[in-house]
Structure 1
Amino acid sequence: MELLAVLAMAFYLLAAFACVHNLFNPHNQGRRYGLLAAVCALLLHGTWLVNTVVLVPGQNLSMLNVASLVSLIVAGLMTLLVTRFNVWVLMPVVYGFALLLLVADMLLPGHYTMHLETRPEVLVHITLGLMSYSLLGIACLLAILLGFLDHRLKKHKLTNLPAMPPLMTLERYLFRLIFAGVVLLTLSISSGLFFLQEMFSPGKVHKAVLTIIAWCVYVGLLWGHHRLGWRGRKVIWTSVAGSLLLTLAYFGSRFVREVLLGS
């Protein structure tokens, strides 16, 4: 299994370098080779995670396993969307982050066993939560890129940058992702309220509260954009704030328990 992880890391690294090369050579015909390397990395990464998470008694949903799974989902979605969104500048970051989490997961294995086969409603809740977090994480990356491009535009320095998507197009894709993420997040919260009696138990109440606050932030952002015409910095900072709240909700207590306390 370690060989799978090492090969996935090598292909992620190759894909990242290929994307950097393509950024400064926009007419290069080698983009498909970078995408091919990324697909190989994703397949190897996914196979390694299946053997690490699923093929054990129960499911090992340690913090790093879940974080690595999220990075796999984000990298997979971005690989599918990159040619449409034209956000090649983000791909080295996406692939590099997936590589680093894979390294950490392999070198620092953790254990948090669940038995989702006996509780399909929990599996649905977790799947919806991870998919919504991944989509909103991608939206956060697009928001940061939007802020960077807006800043460069105001400084009249966009001409020195490699090929970038138009700002209006990027903003449109950003809100589409936020809307899709909010729909999945709504379903995740609803499934938790209906099926998980322990959702507001003492050890998990902070996760529920932070997730609901993040949901309110995103809904407020969509409402403000639609009704009040919010754009620019309000959109960027609100999107980043929502993503940070979800990160604290999903990984905050797990980090304290598994890393700081070692339990």
Structure 2
Amino acid sequence: MELLAVLAMAFYLLAAVACVHNLLHPHHKGRQYGLIAALCALFLHGLWLFDAVILVPGQNLSMLNVASLISLIICLLMTVLVSRFNVWLLMPVVYGFAGLLLVTDFLLPGSYSMHLETRPEILLHIGLALISYSLLTIACLLAILLGFLDHRLKKHKLTNLPTMPPLMTIERYLFRLIFAGVVLLTLSISSGLFFLQEMFSPGKAHKAVLSIIAWCLYVTLLWGHHRLGWRGRKVIWATLAGSVLLTLAYFGSRFVSEILLR
């Protein structure tokens, strides 16, 4: 399985380099080669995670395995949506970060065994949480891109960038992703409240509290945009804050216990 990890890293690197080349040469017709490399990386990454997470006693949901799984979901969604969103500027970052997480997970294997086959309701809760976090992370990336392009526009420096969709279009996609992510986050929190009796137990309550605060922030952002016309920096900073809160909720304590205190 080490060969799968190495090949996946190599294809992620190829995909990132191909995306950079396409950004520097927008009229070049070799864009499909970058997508082929990305698809190969995703396939190999998926096989490696299947072996690391599933083909063990129980399911190994270590922090790095979960982070790598989220990066795989984000890469898959972004690869499918990039042509529609026309946000090629983000793809080298997406592929590069996925490759970096895979390298880290490969070099620092951890163990956090669960037995989800006996508790399908927990599997549902975790699946909803992972997908909602992935969508809201993509929304965070779009918010960063929106802020970057807005800054460049105010400095009259957009002419040096490759063709990008209008800022209004990016903002519309941003709110669609936030809405979809909030719907799934609502279902995830609701399933946790319904199925997890230990959700607010000592050592775990911070995850629920931070997730609920993030949910309130995203809901307020959607309401403010719809009712009060919130746009611009307020939207960008709120989106970033929500992503940080969810990251702390999902990975904060486990980063300390599984990485810093190893």
TM-score, structure 1 normalization: 0.99
1:95-114 correspondence runs (5 A): 95-114=95-114
Question: Can you give the 5+ residue segments of structure 1 that lack an aligned partner in the other structure?
Answer: none
- Cα separation, 1, equivalents of 2:160 and 2:29: 22
- Cα separation, 2, equivalents of 1:259 and 1:21: 35
- Cα separation, 2, equivalents of 1:189 and 1:27: 46
2:140 alignment counterpart: 140
Q: Which amino acid aligns with 2:222?
A: L
TM-score, structure 2 normalization: 0.99
1:104-133 deviations in Å (ceiling 9; x for gaps) = 000000000000000000000000000000
Q: Which amino acid aligns with 2:174?
A: L
Runs of 4+ in 1 over 2 A off after TM superposition: none
- Cα separation, 2, equivalents of 1:72 and 1:84: 19
Once the two structures are TM-superposed, the CA of residue 221 in structure 1 deviates from its matched residue by: 0.5
- Cα separation, 2, equivalents of 1:233 and 1:240: 10
1:74 alignment counterpart: 74
Once the two structures are TM-superposed, the CA of residue 156 in structure 1 deviates from its matched residue by: 0.9
- Cα separation, 1, equivalents of 2:163 and 2:102: 30
Q: Which amino acid aligns with 1:7?
A: L
- Residue 54 (1) aligns with residue 49 (2): no
Q: Which amino acid aligns with 1:46?
A: G
Q: Which amino acid aligns with 1:19?
A: C
1:9 alignment counterpart: 9
Q: CA RMSD in A?
A: 0.5
1:252 alignment counterpart: 252
Once the two structures are TM-superposed, the CA of residue 161 in structure 1 deviates from its matched residue by: 1.1
1:182-197 correspondence runs (5 A): 182-197=182-197
1:239 alignment counterpart: 239
- Cα separation, 1, equivalents of 2:129 and 2:46: 19
- Cα separation, 2, equivalents of 1:95 and 1:260: 26
Alignment identity in percent? 83
1:31 alignment counterpart: 31
- Cα separation, 1, equivalents of 2:249 and 2:145: 24
Q: Which amino acid aligns with 2:203?
A: G
1:171-250 correspondence runs (5 A): 171-250=171-250
Once the two structures are TM-superposed, the CA of residue 165 in structure 1 deviates from its matched residue by: 1.5
